[in-house]
Amino acid sequence: MSSSEPWTIRRILEWTIGHLTEKTIDTPRLDAEILLAHACGCQRIELYTRYDEVLGDKPRGVMRELVKRRTKFEPVAYLVGYREFFSLDFRVTPDVLIPRPDTETLVLELLELAKPFGAPRILDIGTGTGCIAITTAVNNRAATVTAVDISPPALKVAHANAVQHEVADRLRLLEGDLFAPLNPAEPFDIIASNPPYIAEQEWESLQPDVRQHEPRQALVSGSDGLDIIRRLIKQSPEFLVPDGHLLLEIDTTQSDAVRRLLEAESAFENIRLINDLTGRPRVAVASKCRE
Ligand SMILES: C[S@@+](CC[C@H](N)C(=O)[O-])C[C@H]1O[C@@H](n2cnc3c(N)ncnc32)[C@H](O)[C@@H]1O
């Protein structure tokens, strides 16, 4: 293609896909489309109806910069500033973990378990963007949700998302280390967490998108990845009502270890593992025994 040819949307897309492929980016077409739609200020789907349109200098300049950053493995969600989760857009910054589709498995189970409680009191530990807490509040209008994170900048992002999705009046955001900002005299019906669960040694082998750009504190948890999970299992019974539930997102390789940890905690019964869409165990659930 000669360089004198005009830079139409089609041509920019084709060039970008080729360039991202060359730079070993995993999903070159998807990324190219999301970045170009962002540079054009339109929906991805609209690109198809604008294929032959010649792009102006300004959006082309924006696109050039986005592609340059993407080739340095900056995640697309950070470049465009949002990520869809459970059909809602969540604001993301490099201070928060980018919500993953895996976590939708936990939310589905949480919403189901919340139904019998009528007006459930829910706790989300390690809220990040607030994606678990906020999708729960949006989909269960009677729920009141408390969300804790150790990271003050993450809590700011969660607050912005709660305002955007109009649930800030039912979401209490607290800063602290796991249960530290909470009072056992005010227990919860359900405690959910997608905690950090990567082993320290694994950090170096993670994809550069993750390792170079996402917050380490959101991902790593001790030598076997289970440090925080152990603490959550130990401490959560004190903050749960009898018949209340604990839900933990886990790595698919941790299911046996987490089951054993839950079985060793006498306050829990009815321990089960829920598979994600790929059929692998992704969420551990336990219910607190009646006293
Ligand atoms: C895996 S991210 C999950 C974020 C979000 N809930 C999600 O599912 O996308 C874990 C979160 O836990 C927070 N965190 C890490 N250690 C913590 C601790 N000791 N107490 C409270 N939050 C913690 C991190 O800041 C991060 O936001």
Model confidence over 81-116: pLDDT tens digits? 999 999 999 999 999 999 999 999 999 999 999 999
Alpha carbons 21 and 15: distance in angstroms, whole number: 10
> Which letter does DSSP use for residue 214 in this model?
S
Sign of CA dihedral 161, 167, 169, 170: negative
SS3 21: helix
CB 233 within 8 A of CB 287: no
Residue of 82, 149, 202, 210 to test ligand 1 pocket, by largest number of atoms within 8 Å of CB = 149
CB 120 within 8 A of CB 140: yes
Pocket flag, ligand 1, residue 196 (CB < 6 Å): yes
Alpha carbons 40 and 22: distance in angstroms, whole number: 24
The distance from CA 183 to its chain's CA centroid, rounded to whole angstroms, is 26
Tell me what the pLDDT averaged over the chain comes to: 96
Pocket flag, ligand 1, residue 104 (CB < 6 Å): no
Alpha carbons 189 and 116: distance in angstroms, whole number: 10
* pLDDT greater than 60 at residue 288: yes
Residue 178 corresponds to which amino acid? L
DSSP line for 56-92: PHHHHHHHHHHHHHHHTT--HHHHHTEEEETTEEEE-
SS3 31: helix
pLDDT of residue 33: 97
Pocket flag, ligand 1, residue 103 (CB < 6 Å): yes
Residue 260 corresponds to which amino acid? R
The total number of residues shown for the chain amounts to 291
Ligand 1 centroid – CA 26 distance (Å): 26
Pocket flag, ligand 1, residue 130 (CB < 6 Å): no
* pLDDT greater than 60 at residue 196: yes
What pLDDT band is residue 5 in, cutting at 50, 70 and 90? confident
Looking from the CA of residue 106, the nearest atom of ligand 1 is 8
Which CATH fold topology does 86-288 show?
Answer: Rossmann fold (3.40.50)
CA nearest to 127, candidates 189, 75, 195? 195
The distance from CA 201 to its chain's CA centroid, rounded to whole angstroms, is 22
Beta bridge partner(s), residue 88: 85
Tens of pLDDT, residue by residue over 48-70, are 999 999 999 999 999 999 999 99
Residue of 83, 219, 228, 254 to test ligand 1 pocket, by largest number of atoms within 8 Å of CB = 228
* pLDDT greater than 50 at residue 2: no
**Which residues contact residue 47 at a Cβ distance below 8 angstroms, ignoring those fewer than 6 apart?**
9, 13, 33, 36, 37, 40
pLDDT of residue 137: 98
Query: For atom 7 of ligand 1, which residue has the closest CA?
Result: 99
pLDDT of residue 4: 75
Pocket flag, ligand 1, residue 217 (CB < 6 Å): yes
CB 232 within 8 A of CB 178: yes
* pLDDT greater than 60 at residue 1: no
